Amino acid sequence: MGTLQGKVAIVTGSARGIGRATALAYAREGARVVINSRTDEEVKRTVREVTDAGGEAAGIPADVSQPQGVDRLVDETVARWGRVDILVNNAAVMGPLAPVGWDDRDEWRFTLEVNLFGCYLMLHRVVPIMVRQRKGKVINVSSPNALRQDSWLTAYGVAKAALVRLTSSVATFTAPYGVDVNVVDVIGYTDLAKDIGKQQDQDFLVAEYWRRRSQRGIVLDPATNVPMMLWLASPESDGLTGRFVRWSMNLDDLKAAKDRIVASPSALRLGLQVPEGIRESEEARWYLSESAKVLAEIEADLAHRPRYPGV
């Protein structure tokens, strides 16, 4: 019996990358998983991976930035399995790298539609189901970019920062009904991340940072996030809600601190600071240290170049 035996999980954007790694892990733990993407062939491929490994999955292609796509995704899930126990809002696009004024306005808007409004639409449909069930787990996928204090990936970062606020608001409503809503930043060398290294024409500094890191092996596999995603979806994390959980947290420390965090008077105040007693994981310390070295090197090499193209 897996930790998610009999649960029904929708993982948006799960045909590849972090969503795929999460969906495969949930299936291994006994969940019935809905694989979602805008691309039908990618959905079918990931469903085959699940079923070939003995798991149970349904593929539902849909664009979560569109209400009709969300309605189909949720309606087909409920028609098939009768409930939704876990929702992972993972679908995302990277958006423009270029600075404001040099970027594409339509691409900017689309980034918010997918990364933020798509999450809202899924919450709008799934939260009432979970509230009526008096049980549910929502994991909104954010990014370290939500807290960055620089110009990188502006549209993407704005959407992810707003998702943090959306999480805290929804959690205050759903807590009395046994529905836990958390947001987790994630890490991984995904297809989206690889594309950044090819966009020298939009922001040479950011593109070069990703390119050098990948060349030197300073990257982490999307599966790095699986232990945290499993724990947040499992009964072990019951009662932890309205929290911003970071990929870099030592999971054993977080598990040990859970009851203390839940019992705190500020349990529903979204804590952007790491709770006391929770260290960074060993993997995170290596990754962050090496990444900082690359960034310092690039800034020294390229600081003389203007960030605004042609100016």
The catalytic residue positions are: 156
Q: Report the C-alpha gap between 50 and 43 in whole angstroms.
A: 11
- Between the alpha carbon of residue 8 and those of residues 226, 234, 236, the distances in Å are 17, 12, 17
74 CB-near residues (< 8 Å, 6+ apart): 10, 84, 122, 125, 126, 129
> Would you state the structure tokens that stand for residue 124, as one six-digit string?
């709008």
| Sign of the CA dihedral with 55 first, then 223, 146, and 43 last | negative
Query: Starting at the edge strand that comes first in sequence, how are the strands of the sheet with 56-59 ordered?
Result: 56-59, 32-35, 8-11, 86-89, 136-142, 179-185, 244-245
Closest CA to 199 of 97, 63, 69: 97
Q: Report the C-alpha gap between 214 and 198 in whole angstroms.
A: 12
Q: Report the C-alpha gap between 185 and 280 in whole angstroms.
A: 14
H or E segment at 253?
Answer: helix 251-263
Q: Report the C-alpha gap between 197 and 84 in whole angstroms.
A: 37
